């Protein structure tokens, strides 16, 4: 690990000053106030048919559903709601910032954000303007999660070359960070016109605007988030909780290597969530949506054998009875020491009323228990570090 980062790391002397000026995102987002693990909901913005009868609401209704979810999540005591950007078939969230503007207006306390904004194919100036505006509409509740896209259709649609896949994101993400930190930006790069002492307005209500980096399961991208000293949202489709620990470790190690204190950097953990009376019922309730939804959006479904393992207490998929979900979320929290959990509840044409029922049960039975067991007087980052040490000792 350290060898890998050692080879890719630019000179370290720039780190201390940068780090001294960097905002402690853990404090900034209120993760050190001892309120316990934050619980959120995210939608990719998919617009898929219900596998039970093949029916699909129209795009307008689907977009209004996202707004309804956010309001219900706020009422149920969720801390966060987000919607993703996607330009492919079977999605309705191409203009996710517009949807978030409506959500900002329709809610009043829940934090809202993107999971994820595809930064590679947008202009960071425009992205910042949008999110800064959402931040004002929401009175300082907006967050941005920047991602690289798992699909390439949008590169063609929006006029970018897929061969620049990596560099497009890295350059734009760096620029976005500078716009966020600096009142006036002088910058030049490969993928947009230079900025000459440019003031990007409006300045957000929060200073700075919380910007996260979206990370898939593999450590490579987590290392980049760590080296940049930005919070990380780690998303996954399934697998064993412990298999994602190396990603979390790599993130913290990379941050430390670059002179950032990992205790200042929040982590969010995001994946499928489905609650039912029993785990068997949860499997039955979710499987057709995942399988058919993935067939349509990815070209391949999910084998039942793999999906059946989601009931295991050590699976990262949070599926089961309210009690089982509480135990899983707490186990994941013990392993990762993360600050926020994000559940994906509405994937694959799940009917609106079923999603609303999920939100209600989670709010009444799961969230209070999760909070109860994670509330502490000590900052969570400290317990995360302790968890690391404990695990190392156990090994």
Partner 1 sequence: MKLVALSGSNVGTKTRTVMEHLTQTVMVQDPNVEATLIDLAEVDMVFSDGRNFTEYTGDTGRVTRALMDADVIIIGTPIFQASIPATLKNIFDLLPVNAFRDKVVAMVATAGSAKHYMVPQQQLQPILTYMKAQVVQPYVFIEEKDLLRGQIVNNDVIARLDRLVEDTLVLTQTYASIREAKNAAYGF
Q: How far is the CB of 179 from partner 1 (least distance, A)?
A: 30
Cα distances from 343 to residues 79, 151, 258, 316, 318, in angstroms, run 12, 22, 31, 11, 8
The verdict on 153 binding partner 1 (CB under 8 A) reads yes
Q: How far is the CB of 332 from partner 1 (least distance, A)?
A: 23
CB nearer to partner 1: pick between 6 and 303 = 303
C-alpha 74/C-alpha 110 separation (Å) is 5
The verdict on 220 binding partner 1 (CB under 8 A) reads no
Q: List beta partners, residue 46.
A: 91
CB nearer to partner 1: pick between 166 and 199 = 166
Cα torsion angle, 349, 353, 356, 360, sign: negative
CB nearer to partner 1: pick between 21 and 305 = 305
Query: Both tokens of residue 357?
Result: 């029922």
Please give the residues from 332 up to 391 whose contact with partner 1 meets the rule CB under 8 A.
none
CB nearer to partner 1: pick between 159 and 299 = 299
Do 326 and 253 form a contact (C-beta atoms < 8 A)? no
The verdict on 126 binding partner 1 (CB under 8 A) reads no
C-alpha 29/C-alpha 376 separation (Å) is 16
Q: How far is the CB of 285 from partner 1 (least distance, A)?
A: 8
Q: What is the pattern of x (binds partner 1, CB under 8 A) and - over residues 295-324?
A: ---xxx--xxx-xx----------------
CB nearer to partner 1: pick between 150 and 242 = 150
**Number of other CB atoms surrounding residue 56 within 10 Å:** 14
CB nearer to partner 1: pick between 98 and 162 = 162
The verdict on 280 binding partner 1 (CB under 8 A) reads yes
Q: List beta partners, residue 272.
A: 344
Q: Which of the stretches 5-13, 57-65, 150-158, 206-214 binds partner 1 when contact is defined by CB under 8 A?
A: 150-158
Q: What is the 3-state secondary structure (H, E, C) of 113-138?
A: EECCEEHHHCCHHHHHHHHHHHHHHC
Do 46 and 94 form a contact (C-beta atoms < 8 A)? no
CB nearer to partner 1: pick between 108 and 298 = 298
Q: Which residue of 126, 151, 184, 372 would you call a contact of partner 1, by CB under 8 A?
A: 151
**Strand (E) or helix (H) holding 256:** helix 245-257
Task: Point out which residues bind partner 1 (CB under 8 A).
Answer: 150-153, 162, 280, 283-284, 287, 298-300, 303-305, 307-308
């Amino acid at each position: 690990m350290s060898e890998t980062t050692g080879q890719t790391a630019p000179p370290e002397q720039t780190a201390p000053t940068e780090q001294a000026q960097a905002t402690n995102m853990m404090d900034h987002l209120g993760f050190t106030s001892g309120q316990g693990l934050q619980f959120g909901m995210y939608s990719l913005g998919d617009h898929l048919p219900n596998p039970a009868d093949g029916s699909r609401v129209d795009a307008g209704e689907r977009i209004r559903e996202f707004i309804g979810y956010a309001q219900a999540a706020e009422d149920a005591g969720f801390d966060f709601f987000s919607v993703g950007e996607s330009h492919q078939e079977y999605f309705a969230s191409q203009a996710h910032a517009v949807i978030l503007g409506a959500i900002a207006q329709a809610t009043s306390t829940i934090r809202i954000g993107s999971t994820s904004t595809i930064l590679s194919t947008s202009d960071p100036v425009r992205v910042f303007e949008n999110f800064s505006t959402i931040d004002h509409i929401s009175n300082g509740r907006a967050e941005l999660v920047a991602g690289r896209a798992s699909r390439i259709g949008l590169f063609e649609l929006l006029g970018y070359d897929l061969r620049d896949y990596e560099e497009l994101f890295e350059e734009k993400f760096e620029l976005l960070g500078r716009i966020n930190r600096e009142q006036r930006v002088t910058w030049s790069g490969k993928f947009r016109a230079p900025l000459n002492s440019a003031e990007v307005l409006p300045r957000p209500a929060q200073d700075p605007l919380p910007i996260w980096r979206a990370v898939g399961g593999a450590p490579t991208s987590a290392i980049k988030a760590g080296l940049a000293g930005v919070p990380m949202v780690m998303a996954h489709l399934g697998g064993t909780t412990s298999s994602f620990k190396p990603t979390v470790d790599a993130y913290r190690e990379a941050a430390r290597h670059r002179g950032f204190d990992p205790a200042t950097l929040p982590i969010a953990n995001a994946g499928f969530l489905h609650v039912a009376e029993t785990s068997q019922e949860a499997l039955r309730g979710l499987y057709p949506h995942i399988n058919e939804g993935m067939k349509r959006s990815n070209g391949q479904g999910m084998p039942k054998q793999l999906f059946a393992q989601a009931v295991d207490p050590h699976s990262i998929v949070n599926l089961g009875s309210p009690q089982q979900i509480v135990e899983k979320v707490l186990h994941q929290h013990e392993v990762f020491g993360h600050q926020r959990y994000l559940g994906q509840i509405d994937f694959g044409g799940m009917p609106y009323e079923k999603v609303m029922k999920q939100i209600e049960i989670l709010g009444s039975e799961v969230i209070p228990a999760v909070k109860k067991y994670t509330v502490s007087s000590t900052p969570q980052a400290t317990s995360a570090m302790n968890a690391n040490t404990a695990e190392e000792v156990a090994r």
